[in-house]
Amino acid sequence: MQIPYTVEARPDTGLYNAKLGIWLFLASEVMLFGALFSSYVLLRTGAESWPRGSEYLNIPLATLNTMILIASSVTMVMSWASLKLGDFRKYKLYMGLTVLAGFGFLIVKYFEYTAKFAHHYYPSTNTFLGIYFTLTGLHGLHVIGGMIVNGYFWGPGSKLWRRDPERFANRIEVAGLYWHFVDLVWIFLFPTLYLL
């Protein structure tokens, strides 16, 4: 049996099914990160004192990571646009760059985390570091998840392009929506944890 509405829009929603599906998933993700942001606000307003992020965290490295992630969002959307223009080679280039940017982000994060541990800063050290490791750790897991999906579509998953190019372009759009969401979360994490 063929999966319905993978390319053409459903008459009632005006969307192909996967697109509505990913937006529903992202809505649940908003609530997941929203709960943690809410916890952060509650912990901060209830604390007698709260450190500035710069007392513990490396702002230049986090700024570099912000640049890496927004650059990866551009390469991601360019990979989708390349498919829409029928240029598969450019798709491979942009998607490859997106996956590499994900690696770059995680490598920078690795250096950040190891520097914290070298200074004996752990999630149990204080409330600020507890929420910092929780939020950035959960975000990092989302980056890894996105890289696995993007890596699959860069490699074996890209065979679908030959059989059903429209469907493959839709898959990349859906993967892109997730990846941009991960970027969006970081855009709020960066000032909240590092700069305030």
Partner 1 sequence: MSAHDVEAIRRQTRTYVMVFAALAVLTVVTVAASRLDLNPGMTIAVALLIAAVKGSLVAGYFMHLIDERKAIYWLLALTVIFFILLMFLPLGDAADSIGGVPTPV
Binding residues vs partner 1 (CB under 8 A): 13-15, 19-20, 23-24, 27, 30-31, 34-35, 37-39, 41-42, 45-46, 59, 63, 66-67, 70-71, 73-74, 76-78, 81, 84-86, 176-177, 180-181, 183-184, 187-188, 190-192, 195-196
CB of 66 to partner 1, least distance (A): 5
Nearer to partner 1, 21 or 155 (CB): 21
End-to-end Cα distance, the chain: 54
CA 126 to each of CA 82, 122, 160: distance values in angstroms, whole numbers, following the listed order? 47, 8, 49
CB of 14 to partner 1, least distance (A): 4
CB of 116 to partner 1, least distance (A): 20
112 token code pair: 């950040």
Nearer to partner 1, 41 or 148 (CB): 41
CB of 31 to partner 1, least distance (A): 6
Nearer to partner 1, 43 or 106 (CB): 43
Nearer to partner 1, 24 or 141 (CB): 24
Cβ-Cβ contacts under 8 Å for 169 (sequence gap 6 or more) = 80, 83, 84
CB atoms within 10 A of CB 10: 13
b/e per residue 95-134 (b: at least 16 CB within 10 A): bbbbbebbebbeebbeeeeeebeeeebeeeeeebbebbbe
